[in-house]
């Protein structure tokens, strides 16, 4: 059309100007359609999340006592666990009892089901069978009540975007004094005071990227100390930290959680070799559950096999540590028994003369 017709300069200028305008509009249109498409992805994702299978309710009519669990005894009866209805069972028929205040090490090869065992306590997926904590059936509880009463120090520490205070006490349950005390106990007080300009109100960036892995784990430890739960679960908490921090974390746990039930998934066998008992997992089954000393005395046990793989010198060293821990526990138990007997006998002979009681007690021996 342009070439068949004689056009004057004004017409040509007008058509060029219009075509440039159209070009801009087309570019704008394409940009907008791309923008709509990417925004709609978010809508699609939200719709997808809306159709996800829901967890069990966070609250039920059954509420545990305010101080539950007060002893920290855990009972598993025929517990099996899988992550979804169409996947195989990763824990098979576990029946065991963990007594109040016991320190339990959980070991086994990769994929044996150690982390899955911990997942069952938090009901991350619903296991079959029965789990009791201090005689309370945990399947009766809402997830809010269950998960708030057990402390965990995960291998990959979880921190939120927010202040230091929010990360330690997300529900605002504790005073600043308590929070400073917990920070002091994990040796982070001076770091927060000196290196973070707004002290407890200083910001922790996304996933705690302005803190080192060790510091993040120490924050998780401080969180657990604040919560004062009777049950503490540690999933390979020491895998990413240097030896000094590792030792510090281990000592803090030993001291602060002396009277608590502590379940430790061991990254280093040395961490758990002085525990009261060791759970050895293999392909989702509990194959051994006894004191490390007894298991290491048995040359054909799974634990002996695992420890042997660390080398002959390490094997001897770990066996020595296990023996030492075993002897220490026996002495503690016998001392306790002796003291208990003495108290009972003192009560019994309360009205008799002291000589008779002394004579009876002389017949007791502390066998070490």
Ligand X SMILES: Nc1ncnc2c1ncn2[C@@H]1O[C@H](COP(=O)(O)OP(=O)(O)OP(=O)(O)O)[C@@H](O)[C@H]1O
Residues forming the site for ligand X (CB under 6 A): 83, 87, 90, 108, 110-116
Return all residues near 139 (Cβ < 8 A) that are at least 6 apart. Answer: 123, 126, 130, 131
Size of the site for Mg ion (CB under 5 A): 1
**Binding-site partner at residue 112 among Mg ion, ligand X, none, CB < 5 to 8 Å by type:** ligand X
240 binds Mg ion (CB under 5 A): no
For ligand X, the closer CB: 188 or 279: 279
310 binds Mg ion (CB under 5 A): no
d(CA 314, CA 297): 15
Return all residues near 354 (Cβ < 8 A) that are at least 6 apart. Answer: none
Find tokens 């922790």 and name the residue: 204
Return all residues near 9 (Cβ < 8 A) that are at least 6 apart. Answer: none
Among the candidate windows 27-35, 40-48, 111-119, 244-252, which touches Mg ion by CB under 5 A? 111-119
**Binding-site partner at residue 165 among ligand X, Mg ion, none, CB < 5 to 8 Å by type:** none
291 binds Mg ion (CB under 5 A): no
For Mg ion, the closer CB: 115 or 291: 115
DSSP sequence for 253-278: HHHHTTTSEEEEE-SSHHHHTTSSEE
CB of 206 to ligand X, least distance (A): 23
Instruction: Pick the closest to residue 104 from 117, 120, 122 (CA basis).
Output: 117
The number of angstroms, rounded, from the C-alpha of 286 to the middle of its chain's C-alpha atoms is: 20
Instruction: Pick the closest to residue 307 from 322, 286, 289, 287 (CA basis).
Output: 322
For Mg ion, the closer CB: 152 or 164: 152
CB of 94 to ligand X, least distance (A): 12
Burial bucket for residue 313 (CB in 10 Å: 0-12, 13-18, 19+): exposed
For Mg ion, the closer CB: 115 or 240: 115
115 binds Mg ion (CB under 5 A): yes
CB of 115 to Mg ion, least distance (A): 3
CB of 185 to Mg ion, least distance (A): 27
Which residues of the chain form contacts with Mg ion (CB under 5 A)? 115
């Amino acid at each position: 059309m342009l070439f068949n017709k004689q056009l004057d300069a004004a017409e040509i200028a007008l058509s060029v100007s219009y075509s440039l305008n159209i070009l801009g509009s087309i570019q704008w249109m394409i940009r907008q359609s791309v923008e709509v498409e990417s925004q709609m992805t978010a809508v699609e994702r939200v719709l997808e999340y809306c159709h996800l299978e829901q967890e069990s309710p966070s609250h039920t009519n059954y509420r545990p006592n305010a101080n539950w669990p007060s002893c920290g005894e855990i009972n598993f009866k025929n517990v099996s666990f899988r992550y979804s209805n169409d996947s195989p069972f990763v824990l098979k028929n576990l029946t065991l009892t963990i007594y109040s205040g016991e320190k339990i090490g959980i070991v086994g090869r990769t994929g044996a089901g150690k982390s899955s065992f911990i997942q069952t306590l938090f009901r991350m997926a619903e296991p079959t069978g029965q789990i009791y904590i201090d005689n309370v059936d945990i399947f009766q509880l809402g997830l809010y009540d269950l998960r708030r009463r057990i402390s965990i120090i995960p291998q990959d520490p979880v921190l939120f975007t927010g202040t230091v205070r929010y990360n330690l006490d997300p529900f605002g349950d504790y005073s600043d004094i308590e929070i400073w005390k917990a920070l002091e106990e994990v040796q982070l007080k001076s770091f927060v005071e000196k290196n973070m300009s707004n002290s407890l109100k200083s910001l922790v960036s996304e996933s705690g990227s302005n803190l080192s892995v060790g510091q993040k784990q120490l924050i998780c430890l401080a969180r657990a100390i604040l919560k004062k739960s009777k049950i503490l679960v540690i999933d390979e908490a020491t895998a990413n930290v240097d030896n000094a921090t590792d030792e510090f974390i281990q000592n803090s746990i030993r001291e602060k959680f002396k009277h608590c039930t502590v379940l430790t998934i061991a990254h280093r066998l040395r961490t758990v070799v002085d525990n009261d008992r060791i759970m050895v997992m293999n392909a989702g089954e509990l194959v051994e559950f006894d004191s490390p000393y007894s298991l290491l005395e048995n040359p054909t046990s799974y634990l002996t096999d695992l420890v042997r793989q660390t080398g002959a010198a390490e094997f001897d060293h770990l066996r020595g540590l296990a023996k030492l821990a075993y002897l220490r526990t026996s002495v503690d138990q016998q001392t306790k028994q002796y003291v208990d007997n003495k108290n009972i006998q003192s009560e019994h002979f309360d009205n008799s003369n002291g000589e008779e009681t002394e004579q009876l007690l002389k017949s007791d021996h502390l066998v070490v």
